[in-house]
Amino acid sequence: MNLLFSTRHPLRSAILLGFIPILFATAAGVICVVAGLNETQILITQTLSFGISIILGVLIMKKSKLGYEAFGFRNPDVTKNSSVLFFLPLLVAEILPFMNGLDTSISFLTVILLLLFTVFVGINEELFFRGLIFKVFSAKGVKYAVIASSVIFGIGHAATALSGSDPIYVVILIIFAGLFGLVCAEIVVVTKSIVPVIIWHGLHDFIANITMETISSLGITLLIAQTLILCLYAIYLWRKVEFKKEVRVA
């Protein structure tokens, strides 16, 4: 990553960086469809694809010569746990999907592969969106970085949400994705680390894959409840963020 270019053109740099994980995800999807892979092969292919994306992101960080800590790879500030309410709102939000029930059709092997897959997804997306992209935007200040990185994250996940069939469900999913990105960015600023959001991101995706996702009254109600929790948590964290001109947190 050319830091001079990112400083002069942060939006262009951020868009290019955001395109990388999307490109690898799309490429993996195309390979799976063209090759006619089964469920196990799809998970392995997608995991390997995200692994390559992670390596590329790490190489970009290394080339910047800023050090990995500059991108949030450090232990979270434990003194700030009370400021983020010990992440309890996130825990409550992630418990709700279990009310839909577990997906008993998936095998033990699939569960293991899903766990590995979601770990890679969490690392990959947080490395780019709350690591590299956030750092690029931070030149314009914390507030700009939080909002801009969240918008790009939301837009990047809108395409996935639009594949749904129920319009109400799709709209709520898009709002949820935007709030997810916003809360992640705020946590990074408060804790000075992307480690907590990597864990949350991976856990969220894993739970989503092992529980039933039904577009029913219960399913929509649970998604609305999750969205409201994230909305309230985002508002709370916004009041805890210190909007300094110079950023040294991500």
Would 224 be classed as within a structural domain?
yes
Residue 102 — φ and ψ, nearest 5°?
Answer: -80, 150
pLDDT band at 5 (very low <50, low <70, confident <90, very high): low
What is the predicted pLDDT for the residue at 42? 97
In a domain, 249, yes or no: no
- pLDDT tens digit string along 70-112? 999 999 998 888 999 999 999 999 999 999 999 999 999 999 9
- Give the residue, 122 or 246, on which the prediction is more confident: 122
pLDDT number for residue 80: 86
> Bridge partners of 211?
102
Per residue in 137-150, pLDDT (tens digit) is 998 899 999 999 99
Give CA–CA dist 98/91, Å, rounded.
12
| Tokens 């395409």 found at | 159
Q: How far is Cα 137 from Cα 142, in angstroms, rounded to an integer?
A: 8
Helices (H), 36-166: 39-64, 88-95, 108-126, 133-137, 142-161
Is the residue at 213 inside a domain? yes
Does position 117 have pLDDT exceeding 90, yes or no? Answer: yes
* Total structural domains within the chain: 1
Band (pLDDT 50/70/90 cuts) for residue 166 is confident
pLDDT at 131: 96
Inside any domain, residue 247: no
Q: How far apart are CA 91 and CA 61, in angstroms?
A: 31
Domain range enclosing 212 = 10-240
Residue 217 inside a domain? The answer is: yes
Query: For position 168, what pLDDT does the model report?
Result: 82
**168 vs 54: which has the higher pLDDT:** 54
Q: pLDDT digits over 7-59, tens only?
A: 678 888 898 999 999 999 999 999 999 999 999 999 999 999 999 999 999 99
Q: pTM value?
A: 0.93
Q: How confident is the model at residue 241 (pLDDT cuts 50, 70, 90)?
A: confident
Q: Which has more pLDDT, 58 or 173?
A: 58
Average pLDDT over the chain reads 90
Is the Cα torsion angle 245, 8, 68, 250 positive or negative in sign?
positive
| Mean pLDDT value across residues 152-161 | 80
pLDDT at 198: 98
pLDDT at 249 (0 to 100): 38
